[in-house]
Amino acid sequence: MTDGTASNELVFLPLGGAGEIGMNLNLYGYGPPASRRWLMVDLGVTFARSEGAGLDVVMPDPAFIEQRRDCLDGLLITHAHEDHLGAVHHLWPRLRCPVYGTRFSLSVLRRKLAEVGLENEVPLVEVGVGEHFRIGAFDLELVRLTHSIPEANGVAIRTGAGTVMHTGDWKFDPGPVVGEASDMAALERISHEQVLALVGDSTNAFEPGDSGSEGDLLESLSEVIGRCRKRVAITCFASNVARLKTISAAAAVNGRSVVLAGASLKRFNAIARECGLLDGEPRFVDEADANALPADNMVIVCTGSQGEPTAALTRIVSGQHATLSLGSGDTVIFSSRVIPGNEGGIGRLHNALLRNGVEIVTQRDAMVHVSGHPARDELTRMYQLIRPRASVPVHGELRHLMEHAKVARACQVPEVVVVENGSMVRLAPGPAAVYDEVEVGRLAFEGNRLVPINGTLVRERNRVIYNGAAVVSVALQNGGELIGEPELTTIGLLEDEDAFAQDRVAKAVRDALQGMTKSARLDDDTARETIRIAVRRVFRDLFDKNPRTHVHLARL
């Protein structure tokens, strides 16, 4: 470790997105440790899966940088996917820094800020793709890279200690359909700066070859649609504007009109047109007007590729959509990948479609999707272009990070540092290495508030889900004698045929009181706790459950 007080250090600290896919929050710090300035790159969410019932989205806890927000120079958004900007409108009041991004990204963000009344409060700074600019102590250059959303960028981060290439999400697509191909000349130029580290996407590190080009999908999708005789629905990620354009062209080849179904698809369509990304494309048919089209004349583009319960495709297949339906002889094309953790929901959706006689086409059956993330050959090419001193894999589960590290070592990268959230990496001076750990956490959006995942609310709710809850109301005379029968109310514990449990609980309360001394019965806290333990024991003996148990004690 260098002597900290005088030397300028460059450090990297992920608080989200390292050791998991989603909810990215990356911090770069530069300067003497005692007065270090910070840059945040991305601030995203992930969708709640196993964290607890009633939770919609989960995001990193920014406590570390919140405590240092006077030293936070700004937040840079690399692109507009939810896992990179979806937490900004929730967490910005804790950070209160300027937010930088391209026109498309800020257009997406403005709508989110408006939902929470922050549209006139957050300072937004638009920067162009390929632009050089400063954020406090950091000299930055956006580098155009292709991805499954418009205006995705890597960022060259320059400081007095050296340059870091932060890739964001990317791929090398020679035919991206919307926007230009990756700026290979810029990457080559940056490589001559003797880049300290490449901090990069690991999502597809297990995939051989390359990820495929969006431009190659048109022919295949046109052929698949051409084989269909009735309705065709294509489900994809709403933010994939290039896919929307490809589907539109494939539908036109087959003489079909495109119907948009799903609020997020309509929102991204509006943003793309606002930013000039769909100039020349015909207007799409709104789902409310779809009944005017014959079944063999439509392609329905809808949300729901991950089996989301409230998405358009789920509502259509369950018969809950006002104007659209799918049945025997219709076809649904899943033009998307399976996000890890969503397999169960997607499987249930597939089963529901099959019960309705709907044919399913996925990327196992035909070329109907290409990934937005780099496969192994693309990772190799990036390392050959940038030639960094060190590799720091991010954006992936630990298994993805370890596999990415293998690719980096095969490319003769001298230093490879595998980190998870909370690992502080010193990039300069000296070799890249983890030298400290900071506490990390997760926050969940619950109702209209943020709560810690490891806090009392989520912990107690999960306990009730698995063990149920019981409330026992007991009335005692002033001398401690029981008045009447105890009343039992339960949640998630009893079926109708379990009514006998009421008698067992009543007996347990009587026995507990009889076993206490008079002085103990006169002490509310002691009486309440003794009864609570006795009631819990009943449910443990009867059902092998330890419910959340509360005793309401009244003295008359």
Place of tokens 């155009």: 144
Is the residue at 140 inside a domain? yes
Q: Distance between CA 462 and CA 531 in Å, rounded? A: 24
Neighbours of 69 (CB within 10 A): 14
Kindly state whether residues 313 and 255 are assigned to the same domain. Answer: yes
CA 435 vs. chain centroid, Å, equals: 28
pLDDT at 2: 39
Kindly state whether residues 327 and 394 are assigned to the same domain. Answer: no
Kindly state whether residues 418 and 445 are assigned to the same domain. Answer: yes
Nearest to 41 by CA among 138, 121, 110: 138
**Euclidean distance between the first and final Cα of the chain, in Å?**
69
Kindly state whether residues 220 and 357 are assigned to the same domain. Answer: yes
Q: Hey, is 383 helix, strand or coil?
A: helix
Is the residue at 134 inside a domain? yes
Kindly state whether residues 338 and 258 are assigned to the same domain. Answer: yes
Using DSSP bridges, classify how beta strands 390-394 and 415-416 pair: parallel, antiparallel or unpaired: parallel
Last residue of a domain, one of 392, 427, 452: 452
Place of tokens 């799903």: 262
Kindly state whether residues 178 and 93 are assigned to the same domain. Answer: yes
Kindly state whether residues 379 and 522 are assigned to the same domain. Answer: no
Q: Does an H or E element contain 473, and which? A: strand 469-476
Look at the chain and report how many structural domains it folds into: 3
CATH of the domain at 497: 3.10.20.580
HSE, CB side, 13 Å, CA atoms: give it for residue 67. Answer: 6
Q: Distance between CA 528 and CA 538 in Å, rounded? A: 16
| Omega prior to 123 cis, within 30 of 0 | no
Nearest to 66 by CA among 31, 93, 37: 93
Which residues constitute the domain of residue 268?
Answer: 214-361
Query: What Cα–Cα distance (Å) separates residue 28 from each residue in 25, 97, 158, 269?
Result: 10, 15, 11, 34
Is the residue at 463 inside a domain? no
Nearest to 391 by CA among 418, 422, 410: 418
Print burial letters for 356-365: b (CB count within 10 Å at least 16), e (below 16): bebbebbbee
Kindly state whether residues 321 and 400 are assigned to the same domain. Answer: no
Is the residue at 56 inside a domain? yes
Is the residue at 529 inside a domain? yes
pLDDT at 50: 61
Is the residue at 351 inside a domain? yes
Kindly state whether residues 264 and 303 are assigned to the same domain. Answer: yes
Is the residue at 2 inside a domain? no
Kindly state whether residues 531 and 508 are assigned to the same domain. Answer: yes
pLDDT at 5: 40
CATH of the domain at 278: 3.40.50.10710
Kindly state whether residues 162 and 226 are assigned to the same domain. Answer: no
Is the residue at 462 inside a domain? no
| Amino acid at site 283 | R
Last residue of a domain, one of 337, 361, 385: 361
Kindly state whether residues 300 and 227 are assigned to the same domain. Answer: yes
Q: What is the average pLDDT value for the chain, to the nearest integer?
A: 94
Whether 386 and 190 have beta carbons less than 8 Å apart is answered as: yes
pLDDT at 49: 66
156 forms beta bridges with 141, 165
Last residue of a domain, one of 361, 390, 408: 361
- Block means of pLDDT (10 residues each) for the chain, 556 residues, are 62 97 96 96 85 78 97 98 97 98 98 96 96 97 98 97 98 97 97 97 97 96 97 97 97 97 96 95 93 93 93 95 95 92 91 97 96 98 98 97 98 98 97 96 87 86 88 90 92 86 92 91 93 94 93 91
CATH of the domain at 50: 3.60.15.10
Nearest to 70 by CA among 108, 96, 43: 96
Dihedral-angle region of residue 287 (phi above 0 means left; psi in -120 to 50 means alpha; beta otherwise): alpha
